[in-house]
């Protein structure tokens, strides 16, 4: 048991560190390759922050723990929206100025609805998982198109400013890209082993462990990125990271895990509790970010609302385990 807890803690620390190195190395390498700043922000950084979820869920699926993989993805989306944006907005209200981010929010809602339809029968087959992956590649294509056509978008200026601070050489960037990915894979393997053993020791399901401990750990890179961004006044990066990560989690993370190990006999709570909470938070985020009759922003009061929703959800999870 002690070894499992140690593996979990070490796995988390290495996961966060390697994810940061991997994303930074990838972004700077792409910059040296001549990739536009907006494209780096939307594709490399936006999706790269979900690398921990992808690798952890893939490892869990290969170990025949699809519930842990699914819980990690859904739980990460709930952590991203409720905890990360909630805490970030409490630090400083988040202004939403990017038209690209505004277009991504309804798309995130649509992706969530499609996923709910696919698991309505209590399972996710390899074919359905493949459909999610097709959707992911379509999303990447749309992101590339939006980045190329989005000249002058607020997100472009923020990303350009962010990349200026990275002064590492090309060879060093490539090294951190490769080394970060290797450590990311190793730390994910250690983390999954620790999480599964802890779940078995306490008699808690892999789904609950994935929704809570693992989801929180794999979402730490997004938490750090969003807090740093909003403190720099880079509001659209703060919310853009979360929206991009949430789409990636549903399409790629669950798609890859389901392709490796089909998810059969899913717990009824996945749809009636976890998916429902994720979608409710997505709707809240959409309403706040669009603003409709006011400027789109997430103020401190709304951030507190998101955070309270996250806390209430976790109390619900704990009570279900105790009960």
What tokens does 220 get? 């730490």
More confident position, 84 or 153: 84
pLDDT of residue 155: 66
Contacts of 182 (CB under 8 A, 6+ apart): 18
Give the tens place of pLDDT for each residue, 171-224. Answer: 888 898 888 888 888 888 888 888 888 887 888 888 898 898 888 888 877 787
Predicted confidence (pLDDT) at residue 154 exceeds the cutoff of 70: no
More confident position, 94 or 110: 110
Q: Of 218, 194, 221, 223, nearest to 206 (Cα)?
A: 194
The answer to whether 306 touches 281, Cβ cutoff 8 Å, is yes
pLDDT of residue 295: 61
pLDDT of residue 17: 85
pLDDT of residue 28: 80
Give the tens place of pLDDT for each residue, 241-272. Answer: 888 889 999 999 999 999 999 998 888 899 99
Tell me the C-alpha distance between 254 and 192, whole Å. Answer: 16
Give the tens place of pLDDT for each residue, 276-321. Answer: 999 999 999 988 887 666 666 788 999 999 999 999 999 999 888 7
Give the tens place of pLDDT for each residue, 99-151. Answer: 777 888 999 999 999 999 999 999 999 999 999 999 999 988 888 887 777 66
Q: Interior CA angle at 225 toward 257 and 73, to 5°? A: 20
Q: Of 323, 320, 240, nearest to 277 (Cα)?
A: 320
What is the pLDDT averaged over residues 78-87?
Answer: 93
The answer to whether 53 touches 78, Cβ cutoff 8 Å, is no
Kindly list the structural domains of the chain, giving each domain's residue range(s) and its CATH number in brackets, ordered by start.
Answer: 2-322 (1.20.1420.30)
What is the pLDDT averaged over residues 28-37?
Answer: 76
- DSSP strand E in the chain: where? 94-95, 297-298
Tokens 């309505």 correspond to what residue?
120
pLDDT of residue 243: 87
Does the pTM exceed 0.85? yes
pLDDT of residue 275: 96
Question: What are phi and psi for residue 193, nearest 5 degrees?
Answer: -60, -45
Q: Of 315, 306, 113, nearest to 226 (Cα)?
A: 306
The answer to whether 281 touches 82, Cβ cutoff 8 Å, is yes
The answer to whether 235 touches 229, Cβ cutoff 8 Å, is yes
Tell me the C-alpha distance between 117 and 122, whole Å. Answer: 10
């Amino acid at each position: 048991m002690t070894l499992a807890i140690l593996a979990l803690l070490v796995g988390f620390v290495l996961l966060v560190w390697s994810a940061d190195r991997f994303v930074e190395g990838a972004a700077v390498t792409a910059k040296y390759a001549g990739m536009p700043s907006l494209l780096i922000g939307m594709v490399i950084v936006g999706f790269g922050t979900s690398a921990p979820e992808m690798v952890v869920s893939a490892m869990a699926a290969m170990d025949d723990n699809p519930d842990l993989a699914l819980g990690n993805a859904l739980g990460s989306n709930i952590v991203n929206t409720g905890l990360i944006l909630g805490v970030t907005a409490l630090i400083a209200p988040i202004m939403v100025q990017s038209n690209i981010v505004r277009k991504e929010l309804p798309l995130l809602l649509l992706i969530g609805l499609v996923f709910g339809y696919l698991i309505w029968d209590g399972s996710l087959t390899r074919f359905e998982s493949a459909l999610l992956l097709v959707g992911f590649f379509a999303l990447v294509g749309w992101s590339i198109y939006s980045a190329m056509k989005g000249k002058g978008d607020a997100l472009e200026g923020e990303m350009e400013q962010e990349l200026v601070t990275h002064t590492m050489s090309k060879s060093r960037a490539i090294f951190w890209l490769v080394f970060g990915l290797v450590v990311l894979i190793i730390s994910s393997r250690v983390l999954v082993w620790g999480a599964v053993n802890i779940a078995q020791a306490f008699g808690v399901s892999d789904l609950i462990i994935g929704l809570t401990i693992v989801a929180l750990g794999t979402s730490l890179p997004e938490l750090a990125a969003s807090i740093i961004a909003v403190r720099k006044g880079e509001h659209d990066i703060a919310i853009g990271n979360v929206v991009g990560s949430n789409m990636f989690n549903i399409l790629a993370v669950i798609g890859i895990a389901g392709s490796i190990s089909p998810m059969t006999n899913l717990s009824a709570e996945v749809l009636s509790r976890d998916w429902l909470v994720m979608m409710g938070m997505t709707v809240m985020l959409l309403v706040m970010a669009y603003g409709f009759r006011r400027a789109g922003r997430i103020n401190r009061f709304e951030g507190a609302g998101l955070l309270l929703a996250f806390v209430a959800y976790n109390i619900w999870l704990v009570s279900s385990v105790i009960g």
